Structure 1
Amino acid sequence: MKARTLNSRNPRNKAAGRALAAMLLCLGIGLGGVGLARAAGTTSDVGIYKQALRAADQGKMDEAQRLVRRAPDDLASQLILWMTLTQGGTDASWDAITGFMKRHPDWPNQAALRRNAEAKMPSDMPYAQVREWFEKNPPLTLVGLGRYADALMETGSSDKAIDLIRDRYINGSFGAQEERDYRQRYVGLLRPADHAARLDQLIWADKIDEARRVMPLVDPGRQAVAEARIAMAAQSPGVDGALRRVPASLQNDPGLQYDRTRWRRRKDMDDGAMEVLASKPAEEQAHAADWWVERHILARRLMEKEQYARAYELVSGHATKDGLGFAQAEFLAGWLALRKLNQPDQALKHFEALFRGTSSPVSRSRGAYWAGRALDAMGDKERAATWYDTATTYGGTFYGLLAADHLERPPGSALPVEPEPTDEQRRAFDKREMVRVTRLLARIEGADSDRTTLFIRKLSLDAKTGEEYRMVGELALALKRKDLAVTTSRAAWQDGFVLRHAGFPLLDMKPPARPEAALIHGIIRQESNFVADAVSSAGARGLMQVMPTTAAGVNRAPAPTKPAAKTTKNGKQDAKSKKPPAKQPSKINSTANRLTADPRYNVETGSTYLADLVDRFGGSYVLAIAAYNAGPGRVAGWLRDYGDPRGAGVDMIDWIETMPIYETRNYVQRVLENVHLYRARLGHPSLRMTLDLGRGAATNG
């Protein structure tokens, strides 16, 4: 089996689709107002369409036409029409494309349809109609933007047209020739300030080649700022000279200040970096997510030095208003105030802000739980209990489960109830055109195809209720697409729904005896979404994302109780790598291939490695899960740096939140959530989250 990345699928032959669709256009199939009432995709029809695709692929158009006439399936003809209308350079007309969009507004790839429609818009279409179209469908192409701008000018909205042209220039992406043509076309409308703004945006986006095309169009001072920023971003020699060439009037340019901060931090000149941040750079809010990364890294470094007051000052000065950065900043500020500075009243403000300012169950449960902890520290047990109770409403989360434990509720009682569609809802779902097309596609070209994937993802994207999410997840599971069932459940979770069955699929094999099945499944769900031939950018492979070198080490001999494992600081690869004796490349390659071709081998190998980690860290799930992600060497280092949470004096929850790598902090919590939901899925007894956190006796891990 050919290996693929986590997000890719093997493409089908697009030429065949184009050829057959073009033939159908000639026949007039799918262009009229025909209904889709016929049941689509009988066994004989599917066989005929498979033959038609093969015939078109081989250039046998007469045979393809004959086959289509034998099985004029309305749904299949619409599907094939969609295939050609979404291809670049389609021969279809404006009326054909826009007519399809009106009939099928929920089909995927609407952006491709709009791009093709813009290219086929009639040249003599009245300006009022052009304007009406683009006000409902904002232009995606430069051709479309030009038509819209012309229509605005001709219908009395010149200012709006000019703003549109300038905004696209500042924020748009162009090829070199496209950019030259655009500037030439609108030379009288683009100002020096627009060139400067475009240059600034391109450097922020790290599009240096494009930025250099704009540099000759700005004044020498702005050129000097750009050169200094580029030099610092690339950590090139001569940075000091580049900075000296920046005029005094531009030394406080926000972009320059940001790159100066990042350059100093990368050079371990932390005090210099914090000096810039202390000045509250102008317009920090414009790129708050980038600025937050610098604040966060520097704050974590201060925490390692136990300079908690300075860390709090740095974190609490963030400018983020939403998103991941906001959630991280408000939590860390509150945690520092509560756990390191003994300021529970100040901490409460941050935790309440976290709860109010976020929407995801993970962030809201974290905010609610820690608000309860802050109120406990203030002696307000009644209000604390209210916040803990609020956290339990997000019962599938790490902190929701901890809150239930704090309130001494029975194990498993906080796990959310799964949405239950009615028979009527299921019948309506089965009748939906998108669902019927998805099933037909799976029969024609397989559930694993790009197009089937696209339709399932669109169904998930359009789901509004828990019942809809569940039915989409069950559809994916019925088509043996466990990965799409999991991704659908993740989307449902963001909307507050838990798909306890479809969202937590089971292996097709009996898992190894160790470690527990719920932990094995929880790791697989987090690592690969159950994609058996997944390959990460670091080279980790298969269901449990095992590195070939790790597999070679695990399988060269019976696994020892405490394998000596070391890792470096190079990221994901080290998270799955031990250092076995040197192996022949052919052996490693053979192992790599088997990790994706043989799911049983992958699970047995990954489970053995995971069991070794549990043993190495004295039975601790937290440390073993962290080591599976970040590497056992790193975890051993953190035990030295931050203390051993398996013994007295170090709180395990604090230890998890102290780990310096966000990916690992998140990974540990998400896997533990998976473990609790999988215990219920497998029919195993529910346990308290606090019990899982407390596993393990202190050893020399």
Structure 2
Amino acid sequence: MISNIGHKTKGFDFLSFNLCYFTCIWLIFLFIFAYQNFANANSAVPEPKPSIFDLTGERFFIPTAKKSDLLLMGFNLEEYANFYEYFTTNVAQVADEDERDAIKKLQLSSESELLNKIATWYHLRSPHTNPNVTEMYRFIQNNPHWPDQSIIREKIEESFYKKNHDTDFIRDYFDKYTPISGDGTLALSILKFQLGEYKLAKIHYDEAWHRMKLSQNSKDIFTEFCEICISKKDQIIRFNRMLYLDDIKELQNTAKEISDEYLLLAKIAQKLDENKRVSSLDFNKIEPYLEDNSSFHYLKIKWLVEKDSTKDAYEYFNKYKNTINITNPILWAVQSEILGRRLISQKKYREAYEVMTIDQKQENQIFANLEFLKGWIALRVFEDRPRAIEHFQSFSQLGSNNEDRSSALYWIAKSYLANDEKNEAIEYLMKASKFENTFYGLLSKAEILIEKPEIVLQNTSPEASIYENNIDNEQLLAIELLCAVNKKYFAAKFINNLYEKSNGSVDPSILIDIANSKHLPQTSLRIAKKENLGNQAVEDLYPTADFPIEIYPDDKGYEIGDLLHSVIRQESEFSSEAISFSGAVGLMQIMPNTAKMLSRLEKLDYSEERLLGDTHYNIQLGTRYLLDLLDTFEGSDIYAISSYNAGPTRVKSWIRKNPDLEIIDWIELIPYRETRNYVKSVLRNRYYYKIMLYTDKNNIKFSLI
């Protein structure tokens, strides 16, 4: 019968076979299910964090203490779990009231004052929250030594225009705090008007309107409060200031209050800022109205420079530099330096010297640069040593840092040496060599001494007894807790804050050690940089311990380990998580497109995630790039370093323009200030890394360049 075929055919038992078959399938399925869930269970355990806690099963917020005595910190594990849960919330994606609820929940579940204080601080200083002004004011009063006071104060001052506040409250605030923002300065001006202190009121609104950024809300409220306070002259002063600050939006808002001609001038500034086309007609329309306006002439010079009309820019600059009242001299000086360097590259030295000679001088890096370049022309081209020395001395006075001072002393020595005055030259080289942590200080030392100078590698910081070392334990615990919840950026704020607020009473090496223990190399290095070399261990200034892989000499004989350390120190300060504004990533700050090309050369799969998260991968690609650059420039480390920052195409063009220059002159004539400083910094770094990494070669003569 047909019904029996499903059970028996030629003596075969299908019923038994089906039972066996489904049993096997079920067991296989059970095995796969168990295996995958076991794998998932393992993957739920997070990577170890640099903290006093081990967190297991993070998605369930169940922390496990490493040591039971940590309960003495004043909170239990359940409180810590709630604290961790709060910090895993993405503040940028939640409404302000939701975060308030989260804080309230944390406060209700925790008796720990510290846990609540950290969460409150995090909430108050966040750019995504709108806290109660009384709460912010109370917090900064009760915790004056906590970080980001300025951020919270700016939010308080901004709130004065959003809600009606009692005059006594505002008065009490300004009795205790000087305004920190433009909005705050205007609010203080209104308060002084209300108190009848009119002269002080004018001083404050002049300061705010003439020099500071203001919200549209604060401007509207102030002009409504005092219609006659702000004149057209005040608006023009503000226009010039916003042009200097490159605040194009506020420039346009201010121009609307002046005239149609100023609005057209603001539109020209916007086009130049956005690299859009500007024509001479744009200027011709408004020139009759603004012929004596220095901002108008500055923008026209900038336009001529950016479209490579060097001759026209030179003639235009010289025509107006001494015939109009220049209200924004620093902006003019910027164009003067760009023009001067461009004319130098064209071997038009007298024109360059002339265009960089302007009546005004300020203690500013731009004016210092002009004096240096004029000194260089006087020495190298005009062979006028006394004039060169005069310019280099002026360069030293206008400069603001040790690099400028050591540079000025070195070039004064060069000026004396060119006149065969060796004793005077040695005297200035000796003075420059005292700046041991600068490029020119080391270069001066190398020129004086035949052998490489001895560098003390052990910790040379002063005796610990000179420090009080009264470190705020509450902030130390905050550092631990923020690292535990993977908020290292905020932990770094507390470490830096302890350094800044200590006023020299805390041994910086303690804070450096704390930063290193929390895997914050950038923080430790920045603290070390603020200390003089004689007061700080060289190992702190030039760390090597965080270097992730051993570097071997290339088969072409390049010893690249010291160069890699030097580049990493300058690029990312040993922070593997660094991401630049331009998109460069990781320890060696590699652009993703460059990384794709390098991955193919290294026969590796490209991974943007690994570029940031895998230090070995990042350094492998960066090493390949450096070796390729050394090959391209036949082993020249200076050209390779320049190319790492500015790109090999630009460097090749600079070499073509100046093929016969001494290398020190070539460095100083690099068109980009960023690249000039980068090259000198990496060469300085390399000096110390050669000593620290190759101590067995300390007896050989060392050449910085």
Normalising by the smaller structure, the TM-score range is 0.7 to 0.9
CA contact (8 A) 1:284 1:319 kept: no
Structure 1 residue 53 displacement after superposition: 1.9
Q: Which of 529, 533, 537 does residue 490 from structure 1 map onto?
A: 529
Which residue of the partner structure matches residue 158 of structure 1? 198
Which residue of the partner structure matches residue 110 of structure 2? 68
Residues 164-563 of structure 1 aligned to structure 2 (within 5 Å): 164-219=204-259, 222=262, 226=266, 239-246=279-286, 248=288, 250-278=290-318, 279-280=320-321, 286-317=327-358, 319-408=360-449, 410-413=451-454, 419-424=460-465, 428-429=468-469, 431-433=471-473, 435-442=475-482, 444-446=484-486, 448-462=487-501, 464-465=503-504, 468-492=507-531, 499-506=537-544, 507-514=546-553, 515-557=559-601
Moved more, 511-520 or 225-234: 225-234
Structure 1 residue 462 displacement after superposition: 3.8
Structure 1 residue 103 displacement after superposition: 4.4
Q: Distance in 2 between matches of 1:291 and 1:211?
A: 18
Q: Say whether 1:676 aligns with 2:687.
A: yes
| SS at structure 2 position matched to 1:429 | coil
Relative to the length of structure 1, the TM-score reads 0.77
CA contact (8 A) 2:461 2:534 kept: no
Structure 1 residue 433 displacement after superposition: 4.3
CA contact (8 A) 2:588 2:619 kept: yes
Structure 1 residue 254 displacement after superposition: 0.6
Which residue of the partner structure matches residue 24 of structure 1? none
Residues 640-651 of structure 1 aligned to structure 2 (within 5 Å): 640-643=656-659, 650-651=661-662
Q: Quick one: higher RCO (CA 8 Å, sep 6+), 1 or 2?
A: 1
Moved more, 45-54 or 364-373: 45-54
Structure 1 residue 410 displacement after superposition: 3.5
Structure 1 residue 172 displacement after superposition: 4.1
Q: Report % sequence identity.
A: 24
CA contact (8 A) 1:195 1:218 kept: yes
Q: Which of 605, 611, 628 does residue 595 from structure 1 map onto?
A: 611
| SS at structure 1 position matched to 2:703 | helix
Residues 105-120 of structure 1 aligned to structure 2 (within 5 Å): 105-115=144-154, 118=157, 119=159
CA contact (8 A) 1:492 1:499 kept: no
Q: Say whether 1:691 aligns with 2:703.
A: yes
Structure 2 CA distance for partners of 1:123 and 1:244, relative to 1, 3 Å: closer
| SS at structure 2 position matched to 1:633 | helix
Q: Say whether 1:606 aligns with 2:616.
A: no
| SS at structure 2 position matched to 1:534 | coil
Per-residue CA deviations over 1:390-435 (Å, capped at 9, x if unaligned) read: 1111112111111112211541337798651434456x43633475
Structure 1 residue 182 displacement after superposition: 3.3
Moved more, 550-559 or 322-331: 550-559
Relative to the length of structure 2, the TM-score reads 0.77
Q: Distance in 2 between matches of 1:344 and 1:177?
A: 57
Q: Distance in 2 between matches of 1:358 and 1:41?
A: 53
Aligned residues: 612
- Which blocks of at least 5 consecutive residues in structure 1 are unaligned? 1-38, 560-586, 645-649, 694-701
CA contact (8 A) 2:322 2:358 kept: no
Structure 2 CA distance for partners of 1:274 and 1:130, relative to 1, 3 Å: same
CA contact (8 A) 2:239 2:255 kept: yes
- Measured on the aligned residues, the alpha-carbon RMSD in Å equals 3.6
Structure 1 residue 238 displacement after superposition: 7.2
Q: Give, as a single letter, the amino acid of the residue that structure 2 aligns with 1:638.
A: W
Structure 1 residue 122 displacement after superposition: 9.9
Structure 2 CA distance for partners of 1:549 and 1:312, relative to 1, 3 Å: same
Structure 1 residue 525 displacement after superposition: 0.8
Q: Say whether 1:51 aligns with 2:81.
A: yes
Structure 2 CA distance for partners of 1:131 and 1:517, relative to 1, 3 Å: same
Rg larger for: 2
Q: Which of 625, 629, 644 does residue 645 from structure 2 map onto?
A: 629
Moved more, 138-147 or 514-523: 138-147
Structure 2 CA distance for partners of 1:318 and 1:489, relative to 1, 3 Å: farther
Per-residue CA deviations over 1:555-603 (Å, capped at 9, x if unaligned) read: 43569xxxxxxxxxxxxxxxxxxxxxxxxxxx98x43322212111211
| SS at structure 1 position matched to 2:75 | helix
Q: Distance in 1 between matches of 2:595 and 2:260?
A: 57
Structure 2 CA distance for partners of 1:380 and 1:548, relative to 1, 3 Å: same
Structure 2 CA distance for partners of 1:282 and 1:169, relative to 1, 3 Å: farther
Which residue of the partner structure matches residue 32 of structure 1? none
- Which blocks of at least 5 consecutive residues in structure 2 are unaligned? 1-68, 90-97, 554-558
Structure 1 residue 367 displacement after superposition: 0.8
CA contact (8 A) 2:340 2:355 kept: yes
CA contact (8 A) 2:433 2:441 kept: yes
Structure 2 CA distance for partners of 1:616 and 1:115, relative to 1, 3 Å: closer
Q: Distance in 2 between matches of 1:688 and 1:361?
A: 28
CA contact (8 A) 2:283 2:300 kept: no
